[in-house]
Homo-oligomer: A and B are copies of this chain.
Amino acid sequence: MAKKSVELSGVVVARTEICSIDPDQGILRYRGYDIADLAENATYEEVAYLLLEGELPSSDQLEAFREELAARELPPAVVAIVDGRAREASPMETLRTAVSALSFDDPDEGATDRESERRKAASLIAQLPTIVARYHRRRLGRGAVAPDPSLSYAENFLTMLRGEAPTAEEVRAFDVAMILHAEHEMNASTFTARVVAGTHADMHSAVVAAICALKGPIHGGANLAAMEMFEEFGSADAVGDAIRGRLEAKKTLHGLGHPLYRALDPRAPILQALAQQLANENGNEPKWYAIAEAVQREAHEQKGLWANVDLYGGVVYRYLGIPNDMFPALFACSRVVGWAAHVLEQHADNRIIRPSAEYVGPEPRAFPVRAGS
């Protein structure tokens, strides 16, 4: 949508080796690897290792990391929080609270040495999906599906969410969606994690704070908003007029435009291809893909707007049977890798992040004399 003014936009707040964005060519790279290359060739586990450690794992390193990521069970205190409120609480307040409670059972709560933080990072990556899936099952009044350490990250996560084994195509689509959302430079939640880490707070605190930022609808809620917009449009035929109407009314067009990319967000065509594949699978409604595609075409023709990561992301999740209001929580499960990588980087050479404000308030004034005093 029309570019919003962004505070600190373009102001460099950190040096990073994790991620780079070429806004003109529309290239996103994790540690030097093109996101399209990773989406085609890597698994989420490999990408998570790459982001945390800086290099792709050897087969032995990958095996050991998979074992770390298979420790997916939740401690009883966290289960109690999720089960206690699942019917009434929102996904993101539950995730925020449950992740905060994970530190209760951390063997060295508060420790910020690299080895501890690297261990905490793997734990968080492993446990967040269990929280999200358990919450989702419990609010439907269904039994939670225990995590299966023999499954890949993506297959286990989808199985826990849905209570039945996904197809290989579904697993791959979900895995790629997780890869594409894992990291995106100095976005608001990642910046939050770095500001918190800058006070030398611990990994759990930084990740909880990042979840707080992602809870904001204009950060973590964009693919949810795009899907709701598609539901409002109802059919691909209605899209042209609907877009015109929204543009005239100066209403936001979700899933379009980006403060950084000047052309196509490189994640959009990858998700588009996955959405297109899934559109004709058993029981999936082709219209959601058709609507998203029409939105992309009409928004470009009518206003020169380009698709971003959120245009097809929600369609992929819809085809995987995941309800709209879970999208931000899935985003958190993926992005926790990027947050953790930035916390490790921040703590490797820590400096507190403490900006200034321009005071525009009242002039100096004296406390009034009290009546009777």
Contact = CB atoms under 8 A, between A and B. Distances in A.
Interface of A: 4-20, 29, 31-34, 37-38, 40-42, 54, 56, 77, 80-81, 84-85, 88-90, 92-93, 96-97, 100-101, 103-104, 109-110, 185-189, 191-192, 195-202, 204-206, 208-209, 211-220, 259, 351-368, 370
Contacts of A110: 90, 93, 215
A216 B188 contact: no
A358 B16 contact: yes
Contacts of A201: 212-216, 219
A206 to B, nearest CB: 7
Contact of A31 (B187, B195, B361): B361
A33 B367 contact: yes
Contacts of A362: 17, 31-32, 54
A208 B359 CA distance: 25
Contacts of A97: 97, 100-101, 103-104
Contact of A365 (B33, B41, B100, B370): B33
Contacts of A211: 205
Nearest to A76: B84
29 contacts: A5-B351, A8-B353, A8-B354, A13-B355, A13-B357, A15-B357, A15-B359, A16-B360, A31-B362, A33-B366, A89-B104, A93-B103, A93-B205, A97-B100, A186-B354, A187-B354, A189-B199, A191-B195, A196-B212, A199-B217, A199-B219, A200-B217, A201-B215, A205-B212, A205-B213, A205-B215, A205-B216, A209-B212, A259-B354
A357 B109 contact: no
Contact of A32 (B41, B93, B364): B364
Contacts of A5: 351
A93 B104 contact: yes
Contacts of A100: 93, 96-97, 100, 208
Contact of A213 (B191, B195, B215): B195
A88 to B, nearest CB: 7
Contacts of A56: 367-368
A213 B366 CA distance: 33
A367 B57 CA distance: 12
Given A212-B209, A367-B38, A356 B199 contact: no
